[in-house]
Amino acid sequence: MQTLWRSSAALLALMAGVSSASADRQEAWRLFVADRDQAKVTVIDAIKGEILGALTVKSPASLYRSNSGQTVFAVQGDAGTVTAIASGISFDDHGDHGDIDVEAPKLTGTEIAGEKPSHFVEHDGQFAAFFDGEGVARIISEKAVLEGKSDVREVKTDASQHGVAVAYGSHVLLSEPNKEKPAELPVGIRTVDAAGAQVGDIAACPDLHGEASSGNILAFACATGLLVVTHGEGAPEIRHLPYPESLPDGKSTTLIGGRGLQYFLGNYGPDKVVLIDPTAEKDGFRQVELPTRRMHFAVDPIRPKFAYVFTEDGQLHQLDVLTGKIANSRRLTDPYSMDGHWNDPRPRIAVAGDSIVVTDPLQGKLHLVDAPSFAKAGEIAVGGKPYSVVAVGGSGQVHEGEEHAHNHDHDDDQIYKGYFEDDQVKDRALSDWAGDWQSVYGYLQDGTLDPVMAHKAESGGQTADEYKAYYEAGYRTDVERITIDGDAVTFFKDGEPLKARYASDGHEILIYEKGNRGVRFIFKKAEGDTEAPDYIQFSDHKIAPAAADHYHLYWGNDRAALLKEVTNWPTYYPSSLNAKQIVEEMMAH
């Protein structure tokens, strides 16, 4: 396969296809569109509305994007393969700010081959492609995909089936085939451990079809309701959430997980959808009537309150998830019919920033709707039969062409994002963090950082309140101030000092779920107050000697346990900065 770009000018447009919110902050959104009849994936700059080029695959494909947005997968049933595409847009969350990196999209070189690929599922950065013709799941990490590897882990079921698999931590959840009637849908979920041994009983799920995640909850759709999966002690915990008697006869066969709000949206009969609360013990289903038969639906990852449904009369409907009612409707296309083959070309929905995108395969174009106003915002002529569509993008800080405390050239930029070689890591002295430092947790609590949270929500995947809750967990600490002078570290809690001397205890390289890495620089207490922690661990996105401009600090008496802490990262800025300056610093990032 080869990459085909429309022209060199298109490639230049690709690299420049971002809009700047400030001199060093950019927003970029790309659409990946598969053609119903042609073996290609068209790449579009969603901000400029320009076609940037096309990537050649082996047969018409259904597209799936990773949660990180770094990869797009073309599942090609006719060709028996799954092809990985690097989207060219990546983000790195550094706690108090995020960076964006924009490059040319490309085929990564990863292909997963097998007979009749169907369901493709991601969970925690692990992708599971299920091959119906073999009854086999092939699992690979996003890190391996971005490196162009095709090394997969295989997990087999007892028979070929229209099945699904989910890599769930060290376990895999596998659909259980209907052994009496192999041609029919699976009948349950089998949990296996890393060695492939079954764990617990098979969870019954007749007519299993449809899977999604919302937050930390996974769900499978059954004829009788949902199987709701959460983390248990040592193994996944599965419970059954039945359809209530108030619903008419029917079932969900497609699920989508809410972003920002924890819910599932499922189909239910030809002209209805259901909103599902997975935490409910019963009656967790709300039915929404549609004006005519449903074709496709999607959730809004940026405005969690809304989801969208397209119906065969050519209308796009905005569904208010909180009220369970249709808030707005807009006609976009000529009518399409749900009669005919299930795989006939029909409209599909994606959300790219403030644009809701709807494919119109019979007219060879995309329709754009402005999400905030729900007004028609334009069209993009694509040609052919644009069908499956996914959007990736967002905004973040860029550091190209300028000195920055974290990076000075491309190599340092990659290091800042967590991509480096082991031999680049050098031990650091405590003097790198010398000074008087203040916690930013109090500023979060008193509302000083509210503008920062609102700024993140403008282009991020959560509301300002949800970002605030995330940083509430991250910044939380009762140590409001730290001073570091030579080898002496003093912690201040309610103004009372706690002091000890620390010596270097080396460093540890951590591997994160995304595949990038970080370094903790560790210091062990040599002497001092008994209540002072035995270990302190610094993380400031640097991997060699350099002065810190802010840092995240982990402390405690168990060196190994501290290395596993990734949700609470008390963050410190120089005490010389006032509240306004800290806000400005965070807003710039």
pLDDT in the model for residue 432? 92
Domain boundaries, the chain: 419-588
pLDDT in the model for residue 515? 66
pLDDT in the model for residue 5? 30
| DSSP-assigned letters across all residues of 486-555 | TTEEEEEETTEEEEEEEEEEEEEEEE-TTS-EEEEEEEEEEEE-TTS-SEEEEESS--SS---SSEEEEE
What's the average model confidence in pLDDT over 390-405?
Answer: 66
Q: Name the residue with tokens 């002209």.
A: 271
What is the per-residue pLDDT across 29-83, written as a single tens digit (0 to 9) for each? 999 999 999 999 999 999 999 999 999 999 999 999 999 999 999 999 999 999 9
| DSSP-assigned letters across all residues of 220-246 | EE-SSEEEEEEE-SSSEEEEEEEPPTT
Average per-residue pLDDT in the chain? 89
What is the per-residue pLDDT across 269-287, written as a single tens digit (0 to 9) for each? 999 999 999 998 878 999 9
pTM, two decimal places: 0.68
Cα radius of gyration rounded to whole Å, the chain:
25
| DSSP-assigned letters across all residues of 518-536 | EEEEEEEEEEE-TTS-SEE
CB-CB contact of 378 with 366 (8 Å): no
**What angle (nearest 5°) sits at the alpha carbon of residue 34, between those of residues 29 and 37?**
160
b/e sequence 64-103, b meaning 16+ C-beta within 10 Å? bbbbbbbbbbbbbbebbbbbbbbbbbbbbebbbbbbbbbe
- Rounded percentage of the chain residues whose pLDDT exceeds 90: 73
Q: What are the distances in angstroms from CA 227 to CA 103, 156, 182, 208, 320?
A: 40, 21, 21, 10, 25
Query: How many Cα atoms sit within 13 Å of 288 on the Cβ side?
Result: 24
CATH of range 419-588; options 3.40.50.300, 3.40.50.720, 2.20.25.160, 2.40.128.20? 2.40.128.20
What is the per-residue pLDDT across 173-184, written as a single tens digit (0 to 9) for each? 999 999 989 899
488-493 and 294-299 strand pairing: unpaired
pLDDT in the model for residue 16? 34
